[in-house]
Amino acid sequence: MKVSIYRYNPDTDREPTMKEYDVDTQGKDLMVLDVLNLVKEMDPSLGFRRSCREGVCGSDGMNINGKNGLACITSLSSVAPGVKEGKKALVLRPLPGLPVVRDLVVDMTMFYNQYEKVQPYLQNSTPAPAIERLQSPEERAKLDGLYECILCACCSTSCPSFWWNPDKFLGPAALLQGYRFLADSRDTATEERLARLDDPFSLFRCHGIMNCVSVCPKGLNPTRAIGHIRSMLLERGI
Amino acid sequence: MSIRTITFDAIVVGGGGAGMRASLQMAQSGFKTALISKVFPTRSHTVSAQGGITCAIASADPNDDWRWHMYDTVKGSDYIGDQDAIEYMCSVGPEAVFELDHMGLPFSRTEEGRIYQRPFGGQSKNFGEGGQAARTCAAADRTGHALLHTLYQQNLKNGTQVYSEWYAAELVKDGQGNVCGVIAICIETGETVFFKAKATVFATGGSGRIYASTTNALINTGDGVGMALRAGLPVQDIEMWQFHPTGIAGAGVLVTEGCRGEGGYLINKDGERFMERYAPNAKDLASRDVVARSMMMEILDGRGAGPDGDHVFLKLDHLGEEVLHSRLPGICELAITFAHTDPVKEPIPVVPTCHYMMGGIPTNVHGQAIKLSAGHEGQDQFVNGLFAVGEVACVSVHGANRLGGNSLLDLVVFGRAAGLFIEDALRQGMTQYEPSNDDIDQALSRVRRWDESQGGESVASLRKELQSTMQNHFGVFRKGDLMHEGVSKLAELRERVAKAHLEDKSQSFNTARVEALELDNLLEVAEATAIAAEGRRESRGAHARYDFPDRDDENWLCHSIYDPLTKQLGKRAVNFEPKTVDTFQPKARTY
Integer CA distances (angstroms), A17 to A13, A71, A106, B233, B533, in order = 9, 20, 16, 47, 49
- Helices and strands counted in chain B (H then E): 16, 22
- Find all residues with CB under 8 Å of B49, minimum gap 6, and list them: B17, B143, B144, B145, B147, B407, B408
The ipTM assigned to this model is 0.98
What pLDDT score does B1 carry? 56
Same domain, A28 and A125: no
DSSP B225-287: HHHHHHTT--EESTT-EEEEEEEETTT--B--THHHHTT-EEE-TT---THHHH-TTTGGGS-
* Mean pLDDT on B94-115: 98
Does pLDDT of B65 surpass 80? yes
Does residue B211 contact residue B354 with C-beta atoms inside 8 Å? yes
Q: Is the pLDDT of residue B311 over 60?
A: yes
Q: Would you call B505 helix, strand, or coil by DSSP?
A: coil
Write b or e for each residue in B507-528: b if 16 or more Cβ atoms lie within 10 A of its Cβ, otherwise e: bbbbbbbbbbbbbbbbbbbbbb
- pLDDT value of position A238: 78
Average pLDDT score, chain B: 97
- B429 reaches A (C-beta below 8 A): no
Sign of CA dihedral B205, B210, B214, B217: positive
Nearest CA in chain A to B154: A121
Q: Which residue of A has its CA nearest to B509?
A: A102
Q: Are B185 and B370 in contact (CB under 8 A)?
A: no
Distance CA A193, CA B242 (A): 45
| CA separation, residue B478 to residues A68, B486, B548 (Å) | 45, 11, 9
Q: Tell whether B3 is within 8 A of chain A (Cβ).
A: no
Contacts of B318 (CB under 8 A, 6+ apart): B263
Tell me whether residues B45 and A52 touch, CB distance under 8 A.
Answer: yes
Contacts of B103 in chain A (CB under 8 A): 121-122
Same domain, A136 and A63: no
Question: How many domains are there within chain A?
Answer: 2
Q: Please compute the mean of the pLDDT values over residues B552-568 and round it to a whole number.
A: 98
Predicted confidence (pLDDT) per residue in B383-428, tens digit: 999 999 999 999 999 999 999 999 999 999 999 999 999 999 999 9
Burial of residue A134, with CB atoms counted within 10 A of its CB: 0-12 exposed, 13-18 middle, 19 or more buried: middle
Contact call for residues B470 and B516 (beta carbons, < 8 A):
no
For residues A92 and A197, membership in a common domain is answered with: no
Write the CB contacts of A127 (distance below 8 Å, at least 6 apart in sequence): none
> Where on the phi/psi map is residue B49: left (φ > 0), alpha (ψ -120 to 50), or beta?
beta
Size of interface A-B (CB pairs under 8 A): 149
Measure the CA angle with vertex B409, ends B404 and B413; round to 5°: 155
Chain B interface test: which of A131, A139, A177 (most B C-beta within 10 Å): A131
Question: Which residues of chain A have a CB within 8 Å of the CB of B157?
Answer: 119, 121
Please measure the distance between the N-terminal and C-terminal CA atoms of chain A and give it in whole angstroms: 59
Interface residue B186 vs chain A (CB under 8 A): no
Q: Position A185: which residue type? A: S
* Residue (of B132, B80, B53) closest to B398 by Cα position: B80
* The residue count for chain A: 238
Q: Which one of A79, A105, A131 terminates a domain?
A: A105
Give the DSSP letter of residue B407: H
- What is the rounded CA–CA span in Å between residue A39 and residue A46? 8
Residue of A nearest to B101 (CA): A132
Q: Residue B316 CB: number of other CB atoms within 10 A?
A: 28
Helices (H), B403-456: 406-428, 437-451
Which residues face A92 on adjacent strands? A5, A64
Average pLDDT of the residues in B363-382? 97
- B460/A41 CB distance under 8 A: yes
CATH of the domain at A193: 1.10.1060.10
| CB pair distance less than 8 Å for B508 and A101 | yes
The b-or-e profile of B73-109 (16+ CB within 10 A means b, else e) is bbbbbbbbbbbbbbbbbbbbbbebbbbbbbbbbbbbb
Average confidence score pLDDT of chain A = 97
Q: Is the pLDDT of residue B301 over 70?
A: yes
Range of the domain at A153: 108-237
Q: Which of B40, B54, B5, B259 is nearest to B141 (CA)?
A: B259
Q: Is B353 helix (H, G, I), strand (E, B) or coil?
A: strand
Q: What are phi and psi of B68, to 5 degrees?
A: -65, -40
User: Are A115 and A231 in a shared domain?
Assistant: yes
Q: pLDDT tens digits, residue range B120-176?
A: 999 999 999 999 999 999 999 999 999 999 999 999 999 999 999 999 999 999 999
Q: What is the CA radius of gyration of chain A?
A: 20
Euclidean distance between CA atoms B373 and B113, whole angstroms = 52
Given CB atoms, is B451 within the 8 Å cutoff of chain A?
A: no
Q: Is A6 helix (H, G, I), strand (E, B) or coil?
A: strand
The residues, ordered by sequence, that sit 6+ positions from A238 with a Cβ below 8 Å of its Cβ are none
Query: Is the domain of A136 the same as that of A219?
Result: yes
Contact B109/A120, CB-based, under 8 Å?
no
Give the single-character DSSP code of A172.
Answer: H
Task: Tell whether A73 and A160 lie within a shared domain.
Answer: no
B contacts of A53 (beta carbons < 8 Å): 217-218, 253
Q: Which residues of B are catalytic?
A: 288
B400 within 8 A of B540, measured Cβ to Cβ = yes
Residues 569-588 (B) with a CB less than 8 A from some CB of A: none
The verdict on a CB contact (< 8 Å) between A133 and B188 is: no
Beta bridge partners of B381: B371
- pLDDT of amino acid A237: 82
State how far Cα A219 lies from the chain centre: 11
Q: Determine the distance in angstroms separating the CA of B560 from the nearest CA of chain A, rounded to an integer.
A: 31
Answer yes or no: do A150 and A215 share one domain: yes
| pTM of the model as a whole | 0.97
**Sign of the alpha-carbon torsion through A37, A39, A43, A48:** negative
CA distance B133 to B124: 5
Interatomic CA distance for residues B562 and B529, integer angstroms: 9
Same domain flag for A194 and A211: yes
Share of chain B above pLDDT 90, in %: 100
> Pick from B104, B334, B338: which is nearest to A121 by CB?
B104
Chain A touched by B111 (CB under 8 Å): yes
Asked which of A105, A131, A158 is the last residue of a domain, the reply is: A105
Q: What are phi and psi of B588, to 5 degrees?
A: -60, 140
A118 plus A9 within the same structural domain: no
Could you tell me if A126 and A112 lie in one domain? yes
**Ranges of chain A whose pLDDT falls below 50:** none
Cα dist. B228→B94, B173, B182, B370 in Å?
32, 11, 11, 11
pLDDT confidence bin for B573, thresholds 50/70/90: very high
Alpha helix (H) residue ranges in B500-541:
511-535
Chain B residues 264-323 within an 8 A CB cutoff of chain A:
none
The answer to whether the CB of A5 falls within 8 A of the CB of A46 is yes
The bridge status of strand B192-202 relative to strand B4-13 is parallel
**Residues B122, B404: Cα–Cα separation, whole Å:** 8
- Alpha-carbon distance A193 to nearest alpha carbon in chain B (angstroms): 15
For residue A116, count CB atoms less than 10 angstroms from its CB and return exposed for 0-12, middle for 13-18, buried for 19 or more.
middle
Sign of the Cα torsion A83, A84, A90, A94 reads positive
A81 with A178, same domain: the answer is no
Query: Which residues numbered 64-83 in B keep a CB inside 8 Å of some CB on A?
Result: none
- Write down the pLDDT at residue B410: 98
Q: Identify whether residues A19 and A70 lie together within a single domain.
A: yes
Separation between Cα atoms, residue B493 and residue B464, nearest integer Å:
11
Q: Which of A70, A105, A140 is the last residue of a domain?
A: A105
Q: Find chain B residues with C-beta within 8 A of A101's C-beta.
A: 188, 508-509
